[in-house]
Amino acid sequence: MTSFTEENYLKVIYKLSSETDSEVSTNAVAEQTQTKAASVSDMLRKLSEKKLVSYQKYQGVRLTAEGEKVALKVIRKHRLWEVFLVEKLGFNWDEVHDIAEELEHIDSEKLVAKLDEYLGFPSFDPHGDPIPDHHGVMPAQTYLTLAEIKKGEEVIMMGVSEHSSAFLQYLDKINLVLGTSIEVLDINNFDKSLQIILSQENSLFITHEVSKNILVKVQ
Amino acid sequence: MTSFTEENYLKVIYKLSSETDSEVSTNAVAEQTQTKAASVSDMLRKLSEKKLVSYQKYQGVRLTAEGEKVALKVIRKHRLWEVFLVEKLGFNWDEVHDIAEELEHIDSEKLVAKLDEYLGFPSFDPHGDPIPDHHGVMPAQTYLTLAEIKKGEEVIMMGVSEHSSAFLQYLDKINLVLGTSIEVLDINNFDKSLQIILSQENSLFITHEVSKNILVKVQ
DNA sequence: GAATAATTTTAGATTAATCTAAAAATTAGT
DNA sequence: ACTAATTTTTAGATTAATCTAAAATTATTC
């Protein structure tokens, strides 16, 4: 069995190694788990003994196939619960992360299966993140960031890569929500800020930093 | 803040002291929490320091008003989640206890409020147990056990006082579920076993032990 | 390519929750 | 009311997860 704490480490290692696609450093894990490097070292040794990660001292860490399986289960549960909270209970998308961080550790295969069915087998969570299926397979997701879109193109907002409440509330305020069509009217060469039109109606400016965190698909 | 473990102790103390309406013994708590008396002593000292219980060495323990408030919140969450699992996800009533034991510790006032609303503010869980409202007030519940009903009387099944999977599955098998009408046809003087008629149709025998664990109301 | 800086690991403690074994207090039996 | 039985508490350990401080390793820079 994996503890609450071990599951969190595996989840963090999964996230970091899928971002960089290489070994994850002790410090990076410490930062994400809000612990100290010394604590991470200890835990990596322990997870390594359990064959959930492959770990060479001083050389960073990777998930084993088994560890990835556990991480994907936790991520699956997290995202399914987020869908539940938003779709069924009426939470806003900026309110659900912390609650899902707790719910993701509830241990019942049958519960996950029934929840999945109840929600209609969703492929994406309220932030547009893909939900692994019960085999741990992630739905294909080939999005671009809004920062990569050329002037004149029109795209649809499909997700975010920053999940902070502050960012999500800002997007709500400017009516930039999942499914919105976005046309890039103009790109400022100096600071890469954008002028965009939402739903062929509202024109507004956003910074490059914001555009980098918005995931879109070309129509 | 109260830990997962502390919450379980408070819940057990609540349950035991509402059964006997007096101080709860260390051994009784140990039995319910599946721990040893020595561990209970330690925990009672700790809960006492936190003012969640009033505890005199060797004299048993009671909840303080504050401790009862915490216990009732946990019980409320447990029972609401059980309703969710049965009503929304389609679980059987004998499958939900262990899952609700985990869900009851999820910490979000807003989640509880929204879940309650989503479920239509239920007053009783799938076993007929009353659900405290958001002030911690239990709905009035003045049931008798089937063992107390006289020959010839007809009652409605409202709940159970034994929650084991084995017992609940047995009730399912004999079609004795919440809401069923039960007429006491005959009472065996020797062993107090009963002959009953369910829904004015099926006649069957049940033991005294079973009848003691079935809660009913007179029509 | 040595010296310095940064990162990572180890050593030794701490906290929460548990245990066993022994001591202390309470309860029961005659 | 005194002894015996039972219950409860204390003492001392253990495990999981964390920490700080010091040591070891790796990376960087001149």
B133 plus B106 within the same structural domain: yes
What is the DSSP track for A67-98? HHHHHHHHHHHHHHHHHIIIIIT---TTSSHH
B121 plus B171 within the same structural domain: no
Task: Give the confidence band of B131 by pLDDT, cuts at 50, 70, 90.
Answer: very high
| Interchain CB distance below 8 Å, B106 and A103 | yes
pLDDT tens track for A70-115 = 999 999 999 999 999 999 999 999 999 999 999 999 999 999 999 9
pLDDT tens track for B89-130 = 999 999 999 999 999 999 999 999 999 999 999 999 999 999
Residue B20: pLDDT over 90: no
Q: In this structure, which amino acid lies at residue A47? A: L
Of B117, B139, B161, which one is at a domain's C-terminal end? Answer: B139
- Amino acid B25 CA to nucleotide D10 C1' distance, rounded Å: 18
A149 plus A213 within the same structural domain: yes
- Amino acid A90 CA to nucleotide D29 C1' distance, rounded Å: 56
Pick from B26, B8, B108, B106: which is nearest to B62 by CA?
B26
Candidates A99, A108, A114; nearest CB to B111: A99
Identify the domain containing residue A57 by its residue range: 4-63
Of B139, B163, B183, which one is at a domain's C-terminal end? Answer: B139
pLDDT at B104: 98
B42: CB partners within 8 A, 6+ apart: none
Instruction: Count how many domains chain B has.
Output: 3
Cα A22 from Cα A16, distance rounded (Å): 9
Rounded to an integer, the average pLDDT of A179-198 is 95
pLDDT tens track for B132-178 = 999 999 998 889 999 999 999 999 999 999 999 999 999 999 999 99
Q: What CATH number is attached to the domain comprising B133?
A: 1.10.10.10
Residue with tokens 């070309």: A218
B199 plus B160 within the same structural domain: yes
Q: In this structure, which amino acid lies at residue B52? A: L
A185 by DSSP, 3-state: which? strand
**Beta-strand relationship, B144-145 and B214-218:** antiparallel
Reported ipTM? 0.92
B55 plus B22 within the same structural domain: yes
B135 plus B94 within the same structural domain: yes
Provide the sign of the torsion angle of the four alpha carbons B113, B114, B120, B125, taken in this order: negative
User: What residues of chain A have any CB closer than 8 angstroms to a CB in chain B?
Assistant: 85, 88-91, 95, 98-99, 102-103, 106-108, 110-111, 114-115, 118
